[in-house]
Amino acid sequence: MVSDALQRAATIVKVFVSTENTKDPRVARIIDGLRKFPAIEVEHSPLNPLVGDDPRWQGRDDRECRGAIAAADCFLAIETRGYDCSTWMAHEFDVAWKLRRERGRPLLFLSKCVDLPLPAGFRRYEDAATILPVEPDAAVAAFLGRLG
């Protein structure tokens, strides 16, 4: 079973979760589902300031964003209602996409909230990503299956 293999793995899989709303119940379930595995280390985007305060915005700059994504083995974009309107989400996906093209990692994953294409500006990112199911438990299972 993939989850057993991950729990016994000697290496840590670093996952950067790009999302504009970590308080969204679906997003929280996916992040929590990934964190159940000791071999998976999850970092995520700061909370959208329109949703609430996140002290990680203090002093956060492009260099810090790039560093976090560059350190990841996997980049998981989780679309929420405001994802495609966020320039920061587009920036994070662009950084991950360029790193993937330049050096072969991070692996790109996308869990959309609806079964419709993302807007044109996100199309190349969506085309390059492995699409995961919408439902949180199924998204986590599919993600783990791709790592196995």
User: How far apart, in whole angstroms, are the C-alpha atoms of residue 86 and residue 73?
Assistant: 23
pTM score, two decimals? 0.88
Residues pairing with 17 in the sheet: 44, 76
Phi first, then psi, for residue 22 (nearest 5°) are -70, -10
* Predicted confidence pLDDT, tens digits, the chain (148 residues): 454 545 545 589 999 999 988 889 999 999 999 999 999 999 988 766 666 666 665 666 667 888 999 999 999 999 998 777 778 888 899 999 999 999 999 999 999 998 888 888 889 999 999 999 999 999 999 999 998 7
Burial class (CB in 10 A: 0-12, 13-18, 19+), 135: middle
Distance CA 49, CA 65 (A): 16
